[in-house]
Amino acid sequence: MRTPNRTPDAALLRDAAAIAAAMIAVGASFGAITIAYALPLWLPFAMSTLVFAGGAQFLAVGLFAAGNPIAAIVAGLLLNARHLPFGLAVSATIGPRLRDRLIGSHLMTDEVVAFTLRETDPVRRRRTYWLIGITLFTSWNAGTALGVLLGGVTGDPAQLGLDAAFPAGLIALILPSLRDRSTRAVALTGAALAVLLTPVLPAGMPVLCALLGLLVLFVPRFRSGLRTPAPAAASDATPAADPGLASGSAPGSASSSASAAAAAPGSAPVSLGGEA
Amino acid sequence: MIIAAIVVLAVGTYAMRLSGVLLRERLELSEPVQRLLPMAAASLLAALAATATLMEGAAFAGYARPAGVAIGAVLAWRRAPFVVVVLAAALSAALLRLAGIE
């Protein structure tokens, strides 16, 4: 994030390598789990290439193993419904060519979208989308194969702390967007709603309910994100530039408490829940 | 039966991915609504991060994971490189578990 502008591609490659390493490890645990569940050997490969959505894959194999393929379909599709709004957001980045759209759509994951929205320049966005997309597809499938080969040896990803690595990586990627005051209000409200609804709604629904966070834009003080012709809302904080606040946000108590909240997600959604 | 389920899941997932990409230009979105799209994506990603940090299934995920994520998030806030954020989060969660803190 603090990467010097002169070597943007080296920085991007380094980030891609980091996320690839994590994907190989988690992919391996996915492959190993399918073996542990005694599911057919082709299954992890078919899922990692054709479905290519980590969360839905873990959820679905659990339900397959429990003998409930219908539930696997319903839960998996519910979990993946967020890709529709993601597609709306990255459509311009993927570009107008049909071939790019057909292939680029399949590469769409949370991490790709997060990496892409971090960039401001359209050319860099496009490069980032394809580089990260192809990297993740390759590393996820390599990891899956590794997990199938190694079987039980790969162990629990939690022991390596990988369950903490992914949310932390996502937070790092969306932080530049959160420097925009309206986006921050929407995202923190959405995150709080999702956490609060997780115990009561089926998997996938709580994250979709985060879209209701957009309703805070009806609150007059957060409306500026829509009215002022600021450059693309997700991108008005330049990655390298000023550590202060982006032009749109007032350095008042509200925004500094929101910054503190964003920096400590362990407690943030809970404390924000009271406000929301 | 499983193979049919995987095909349905794969086709459905792909359809949702592609439809957003294709719908974008068919929808004549006004300028303010266009600005909602990256906000919507940021909100979904923030919700994913928050639920993945705090929840395991429908229950609280325990302390090691949120603590690791918090350390990573503070580093991200201090503009540490992405690699450092991810490694620090994983390492601190793993060390906490090693120390017996779940």
Tens digit of pLDDT at every position of chain B (102 positions): 899 999 999 999 999 999 999 999 888 888 888 889 999 999 999 999 999 999 998 899 999 999 999 999 999 999 999 999 999 999 999 999 999 998
Residues B95, B71 share a domain: yes
Q: Is the confidence at residue A262, as pLDDT, over 90?
A: no
pLDDT of residue A157: 75
What percent of chain A is modeled with pLDDT above 70? 77
Contact B5 A64 (CB under 8 A): yes
A23 near B CB under 8 A: no
Residues B13, B39 share a domain: yes
Burial of A79-93, coded b for 16+ CB within 10 Å and e otherwise, reads bbbbbbbbbbbbbbb
d(CA B93, CA B70): 10
Residues B38, B8 share a domain: yes
d(CA A72, CA A130): 29
d(CA A58, CA A173): 23
**In chain A, which residue's Cα lies nearest the Cα of B19?**
A84
pTM of the model: 0.79
Residues B40, B71 share a domain: no
pLDDT of residue A237: 37
pLDDT of residue A20: 95
Tokens of A10: 């080296």
Residues B8, B46 share a domain: yes
User: Nearest CA of chain B to the CA of A47: how many Å?
Assistant: 7
Contact B64 A70 (CB under 8 A): no
Domain count of chain B?
A: 2
User: Nearest CA of chain A to the CA of B35: how many Å?
Assistant: 6
**In chain B, which residue's Cα lies nearest the Cα of A182?**
B39
pLDDT confidence of A268, banded at 50, 70, 90?
Answer: very low
The parent domain of residue B45 ranges over 1-53
User: Nearest CA of chain B to the CA of A7: how many Å?
Assistant: 14
Residues B70, B87 share a domain: yes
A215-238 mean pLDDT? 64
Contact A226 B70 (CB under 8 A): no
